[in-house]
Structure 1
Amino acid sequence: MTEIMIRRLDAEAAREACAALADIHRACVARGASVSLMADTPREEALAFWRSVAADVGAGGTILLVAENDGRMVGTVQVCAAGRPNQPHRGDLAKMLVHPDAQGRGVGTALLAAAEREALAAGLWLLVLDTTPGTAAERLYTRGSWEPVGVIPDFALWPDGRLGATKLFYKDLRGG
């Protein structure tokens, strides 16, 4: 694998990337990731999900990053502004997805670092996220100095329909 390139997408680029992002998303779910879709989600529904993300990018509420390797998208992450008058400093890190073929090669680490930089540049210095306990994603966030808050049982469904827990994290990007 050659160098990973991280790129922020504007609304037009996000719309153009919907098919590739839907394919990454579905590949992750097919491997068992509990990330919004179910195992039997049709491609058209995944495309509709990513079209809604592109619309959010266009409205200015979402920062969408992609990781590319050899001209192919291999990962993505979003920073979603809280969008509330009393939370102008807060955002959610969402939909961290790395195609199974690219996992274990630093893509997630690169996406996480870029998402944190982009969030801070946008004035979002407090980020929150949720992830499945006991996964590589949990280890990524722990290595990235994210603070665990707690575990909520039966939070979401696994792609096969079983209930699963989630672990909440936060990170203050202002540094010490």
Structure 2
Amino acid sequence: MNLIEIGTLTPSAQTQEMLAELLVATVAAGGSVSFMHPLAPQTARAFWEKSLAAAERGERAVLGAWDGKVLVGTVTLLLDFPPNQPHRAEIAKLMTRVDRRGSGVGTRLMRTAEGLAVEKGRTLLVLDTAAEDGASGLYEKLGFTLTGEIPDYALKPHGGLTGTLIYWKRIGPIS
């Protein structure tokens, strides 16, 4: 594996296209990231257009993992919460190219997102992952605590129901 660079993604047609391709491939491989298979490329591009616009407004940060000019992974840090929750952030849409899974890309993305959350003054991270074929092992390895499972939470991309596992982690200095 070449040196992976992690950075904040900004809106551009090329970035949106690469993100869309990653999202379509993730869903096709069974990744439970809120979409059903088959996912139309235009639907994926529209999702990322909205997501990157929200990032431009400071409501979230979309991080990308690059191997040269190839986008090999992404994660979103949600930052827009009600006034009584300024201390927390949420991890969403962690995706790694199928051929790069298990190579440390997801870990690097998660650590960078956590560091960014601390920089933004957040002290609590939350996330959820599919009970079947989700990334629970990764999250637990990174110190997240399982709160519990909600059964039959969502449809799997190829059909059938799966539960979701809810995780949390304290980060940064607690005030």
TM over 0.5: yes
Quick one: which amino acid aligns to residue 7 of structure 2?
R
Is residue 106 from structure 1 mapped to residue 104 from structure 2 by the alignment?
yes
- Counterparts of 1:48-87 in structure 2, within 5 Å, are 48-87=46-85
Tell me which stretches of 4 or more aligned residues in structure 1 moved more than 6 Å.
none
Quick one: which amino acid aligns to residue 122 of structure 1?
K
Secondary structure at the residue paired with 1:105? coil
Is residue 4 from structure 1 mapped to residue 28 from structure 2 by the alignment?
no
- 1:157 maps to which residue? 155
Q: Is the 8 A contact 2:131 2:162 kept in 1?
A: no
Q: Percent identity?
A: 37
Separation in 1 of the partners of 2:134 and 2:151?
A: 19
Once the 2 structures are TM-superposed, how far is the Cα of residue 161 of structure 1 from its aligned partner?
A: 2.0
Quick one: which amino acid aligns to residue 7 of structure 1?
G
**Is there any run of 5+ residues in structure 2 with no aligned partner, and where?**
none
Q: Is the 8 A contact 1:25 1:99 kept in 2?
A: no
Is residue 128 from structure 1 mapped to residue 126 from structure 2 by the alignment?
yes
Secondary structure at the residue paired with 1:171? strand
**Is there any run of 5+ residues in structure 1 with no aligned partner, and where?**
none
Once the 2 structures are TM-superposed, how far is the Cα of residue 160 of structure 1 from its aligned partner?
A: 1.4
Q: Is the 8 A contact 2:123 2:173 kept in 1?
A: no
Q: How many residues align?
A: 174
Please provide the CA RMSD for this pair.
Answer: 1.5
Q: Is the 8 A contact 2:27 2:38 kept in 1?
A: no
Once the 2 structures are TM-superposed, how far is the Cα of residue 174 of structure 1 from its aligned partner?
A: 2.4
TM-score (norm 1): 0.93
Candidates 143, 146, 158, aligned match of 2:144: 146
Once the 2 structures are TM-superposed, how far is the Cα of residue 134 of structure 1 from its aligned partner?
A: 4.9
Once the 2 structures are TM-superposed, how far is the Cα of residue 175 of structure 1 from its aligned partner?
A: 6.2
